[in-house]
Amino acid sequence: MELFPLSSVRLENGLFKDAQETAIRYILALKTDRLLAPYRREAGLPAKAESYGNWENTGLDGHMGGHYLSALSLMTAATGNQLIKDRLNYMLGELKRCQEQDPDGYIGGIPGGKEMWKEIRDGKIDAASFSLNGKWVPIYNIHKLFAGLIDAYYYTGNEEAKQMVFKLADWWLGIFGELTDQQIQTVLASEHGGINEVFADLAQISGNPEYLRMAQRLSHRAILEPLEDGKDELTGLHANTQIPKVIGFEKIGALSDSLSWINAARFFWETVVGNRTVSIGGNSESEHFHSRNSFEKMLSSREGPETCNTYNMLKLSKALYLQHPERKYIDYYERATYNHILSSQHPGTGGFVYFTSIRPNHYRVYSQAQLSFWCCVGSGLENHAKYGELIYSHKGKDIYVNLFIPSTLNWEQGGIKLHQETRFPHGTASELTLEIAEAETFSVFIRKPDWLEGQHVNLLVNGKNMSYKEEGEYIQINRRWEGKTLISFDLPMRVRAEFLPSGEPWVSYSYGPIVLAAKKGTEDLKGLFADDKRMGHIGSGALLPMDKNPILVAPDQDVAGFVHTLDAGNLRFELDHLCQGNAEEKITLQPFFSLHDARYTLYWRVADRHSLDSINREAHLHEQRQLALDSNMVDLIALGEQQPEADHHMQQEETYTGVLGDYHWRGGPGWFSYELNNKNQSAKAIYIKQIPDAVSCYELTVDGQLLRKEKQLANTDGSIIVVFKLNAPLARRDKLQVKVSACVDKETGKVVEIRLLK
């Protein structure tokens, strides 16, 4: 299967065109010179503007510039917008100036990057999951620049971008070509985006096998090998670190005819989509894959699926679909596009969402253009520029209509124009008008989506009813096309109920592919529009008690019947059989993609009437404990997780991280420290949770003062909590340097969590 060039598809009025235009405003609001500032600084050129803040001046400097190149390239192809194209050319010109300053052809925004890369070349490697030689994921960062330059060439044909990226690639070969396979695998312990994928792209563009060889060497064996064996060992891993690697495996597999690499990618897709994905198409909690058997963590967390993960799952789905044109890849693509990607953009400000909380009655926060520079802003800039990429595809002359999005395909090479008119999902009828310059015989295939569940599709060609063949879950219309042909069809939608993949009794509703949600209150939407603080991307307003959420009382499993259509054209539905306390409740449902600036509920607990009381009691107790801890909390670090550790300026010597069950931990014979924020100087105590073992013994110092153990509590899961009291002078400080050091000849033990408590 092949894609049409993005530039040959134009969106017509509708949801996606609106989102595209909103994204253009956000893209143009960013200041190019500020995005370029880290690159100029590292190239030794005088500053033209101050660099942006947030992740752009705390170590990941320049990552946004790489995404920006991709976004401008995609948007140029998708719309032909001249302002966007001018930006792209300006950006490339400036980056070229930076590259000309360096005899080796290096460009990068990483602070002190050039020196660090030389250390790597000389075999001095210190890699941890989110750092490399003390820098914040530099390969992840430079991958964005590689990808941006490749996109500028691929989507707009810019030859200068092509020359620049090959120069940069040759600099890279000069660094990594010196390393052994073993050394490269050590480096790859550090998050590295899709660095293997870009080298596969370069091999494909140039035909030079040296790049393919580098792509293979840059593929992380610790992740590849279990996947080749069909093993899902993903629990506990940082999700968005893994997905781009797998996109690379797929591409390299295809270029080198390596079936086992392609199968590894297919298996990964199957297990992530089948076992780890919720209704909106997203996966993971607090950036990590949780246990497949329990979504409890995700259901109770503020930090649900990350948008970057789905951005990358869409890339992987697209690549797999082109290799193996099976409908399931498009079914997922459609689901994730409507329910996660489209919904991750604020329709007014264009702000992007990082975490979509799945916790009932929580909310999401949106980025602000001049303040927020997270990963999900970077991928977000690209997301809304590529809605046209898979609406249509082709196999030779045969055309596939994959998605029901108003648009026009202008296939110059084939002499064909295909116009799609539809109000979908606000209506079920669609019309395709195919115009052809010279009469020809071929097939048009229309996808019969999974959510039709076998319902018949009425098809008319030029107003006449037509029977059709089905081929690979697509409707096939094979005929001799001449002049103008009108194809009309109807996609009947109905309400469907979907339980969690784990089988836990929680259900989410969809209408056709559109996930429905209930709009809840607007109380305490703290940080709804994120500031530039390190934790600004998380909805930190109060967690509302889970035990106050209504429960769906289902005598049997036929829960789909509890939703009634109020107004199909406006996508309004009503859910009944809800019970709160002893009262019955009815709730209006709407598409999740249209729900903003409020708390919401996507998943409903299902129970039979007999077990209601015990469920309520249990939920109440659990909730009281969680909320008490939450309201008492001043600051929290989940150890061994990338973002919390980076946000709290982690330092360490001789410690490492790992996963035990659902716990992430840090520990070892050395020491580690964090800077905790004592907000309003309200902390009175420090709480350390750990999984003890025979050799664990540590000392806790705060700002250099040794603290004494106040009390110790044991949990039923084998973890212990030790509470240390802060003395009065320490409690009056805004920042506390908390350091855990192993006792002599001992280890710290597996430390899971550190909290400052009131």
Least Å from the CB of residue 310 to Zn ion: 10
Kindly state the number of chain residues that form the binding site for Zn ion, as judged by CB under 5 A. 4
Residue 379 CB, nearest approach to Zn ion (Å):
6
**Residue placing its CB nearer to Zn ion in the complex, 140 or 332:** 140
What's the Rg (C-alpha) of the chain?
A: 27
Tell me which residue has its CB nearest to Zn ion.
308
Of 684, 668, 706, 699, residue with least CA distance to 635: 684
| Cβ at position 366, least distance to Zn ion in Å | 14
Work out how close the CB of 286 gets to Zn ion at its nearest, in angstroms, rounded to a whole number: 12
To the nearest whole angstrom, how small is the minimum distance from the Cβ of residue 293 to Zn ion?
A: 26
Distance CA 546, CA 549 (A): 5
Please, what is the minimum distance in Å from the beta carbon of residue 354 to Zn ion? 6
Q: Give the residue with the Cβ less far from Zn ion, 315 or 419.
A: 315
> What is the contact mask toward Zn ion in residues 348 to 387, using x (rule: CB under 5 A)?
---------------------------xx-----------
* 60-68, 301-309, 595-603, 695-703 -> range binding Zn ion (CB under 5 A): 301-309
In sequence order, what are the residues at sequence separation of 6 or more whose Cβ sits closer than 8 angstroms to the Cβ of residue 744? Answer: none
Restricting to residues 39-78, which ones interact with Zn ion according to CB under 5 A?
none
CB of 91 to Zn ion, least distance (A): 22
Choice between 30 and 432, CB closer to Zn ion: 30
Task: Name which of 537 and 755 has its Cβ closer to Zn ion.
Answer: 537
The stretch among 157-165, 197-205, 211-219, 307-315 that binds Zn ion (CB under 5 A) is: 307-315
Please state whether the peptide bond connecting residue 513 to the residue before it is cis, i.e. omega within 30 degrees of 0: no
Task: Tell me how far CA of residue 449 lies from CA of 444, 472, 490, 572, in angstroms.
Answer: 16, 11, 12, 22
For Zn ion, give the closer residue by CB, 140 or 600. 140
**Cα–Cα distance between 84 and 70 in angstroms, integer?**
11
* Least distance CB 704 / Zn ion (angstroms): 36
Q: Which is nearer to Zn ion, 193 or 667 (CB)?
A: 193
Tokens of 87: 């930006």
Write down the least CB distance from residue 29 to Zn ion, Å: 20
Pull the structure tokens for residue 278.
């919720």
Cβ contacts of 319 within 8 Å, gap of 6 or more: 247, 250, 251, 254, 265
Cβ nearer to Zn ion, comparing 243 with 252:
243
Minimum distance of Zn ion from residue 303's CB (angstroms): 11
- The residue (of 374 and 604) whose beta carbon lies closer to Zn ion is 374
CA geometry: angle 733, 735, 737, nearest 5 deg:
110
Query: CB of 308: closest distance to Zn ion in angstroms?
Result: 3
Smallest separation (angstroms) from Zn ion to the CB of 84: 23
Angle, alpha carbons 273-274-279 (nearest 5°): 70
* Spacing of C-alpha 140 from chain mean position: 14
Closer residue to Zn ion (CB): 375 or 751? 375
Dmax (CA) of the chain: 87
Determine the length of the chain: 758
Q: Is 224 in the site for Zn ion (CB under 5 A)?
A: no
Neighbours of 309 (CB within 10 A): 27
- The DSSP bridge partners found for residue 658 are 665
Residue 128 structure tokens: 């941890």
Q: Specify the residue, 56 or 306, whose C-beta has the smaller distance to Zn ion.
A: 306
CA pair distance 402, 392, nearest whole angstrom: 6
- Residue 144 vs 447, nearer CB to Zn ion: 144
Closer residue to Zn ion, CB minimum distance, 193 or 248: 193
Neighbours of 353 (CB within 10 A): 26
Closest separation between CB of residue 375 and Zn ion, Å? 3
CB of 353 to Zn ion, least distance (A): 10
- Long-range contact pairs involving 51-55 (C-beta distance under 8 Å, separation at least 24): 52/370, 52/373, 53/371, 53/373, 53/532, 54/371, 54/372, 54/373, 54/374, 54/532, 54/534, 54/536, 55/373, 55/374, 55/375
Rounded least distance, CB 307 to Zn ion, Å = 6
Residue closer to Zn ion, measured from CB, 306 or 421: 306
- Nearer of residues 133 and 372 to Zn ion, judged by Cβ: 372
Q: How far apart are CA 343 and CA 382, in angstroms?
A: 14
- The answer to whether 315 touches 373, Cβ cutoff 8 Å, is no
Segment near Zn ion (CB under 5 A); pick from 288-296, 302-310, 415-423, 727-735: 302-310
Mapping DSSP onto H, E and C, the string for 312-355 reads: HHHHHHHHHHHHCCCHHHHHHHHHHHHHHHHHHECCCCCCEECE
Phi-psi sector, 284: left (phi>0), alpha (psi -120 to 50), beta: left
Give the footprint of Zn ion on residues 236-295 (CB under 5 A).
Answer: none
**Cβ closer to Zn ion: 32 or 284?**
284
308, 341, 477, 525: residue in contact with Zn ion (rule CB under 5 A):
308
Answer for the pair 402, 392: CB distance below 8 angstroms, yes or no.
yes
Pairwise CA distance, residues 725 & 708, whole Å: 7
Chain center to CA of 197: 17
Task: Give the footprint of Zn ion on residues 321-350 (CB under 5 A).
Answer: none
Of 85 and 192, which has the nearer Cβ to Zn ion? 192
Closest to Zn ion by CB, 201 or 306: 306
Judge residue 231's burial from the number of C-beta atoms within 10 Å of its C-beta, 0-12 exposed, 13-18 middle, 19 or more buried: exposed
From the list 731, 716, 722, the residue with the least C-alpha distance to 752 is: 722
Q: Render 178-243 in DSSP notation, one character per residue.
A: TS-HHHHHHHTTS--TTHHHHHHHHHHHH--HHHHHHHHHTS-HHHHHHHHTT----TTSBHHHHH
CB 702, min distance to Zn ion, A: 32
| Distance of closest approach, residue 529 Cβ to Zn ion, in angstroms | 18
Which residue lies nearer to Zn ion by CB, 244 or 550? 244
Distance, CA of 65 to CA of 705 (rounded, Å): 43
Whole-number Cα distances in Å, 462 to 15, 71, 221, 458, 489: 28, 39, 55, 13, 11
What minimum distance in Å lies between the beta carbon of 373 and Zn ion?
11
**Residues at the contact surface with Zn ion, assessed by CB under 5 A:** 306, 308, 375-376
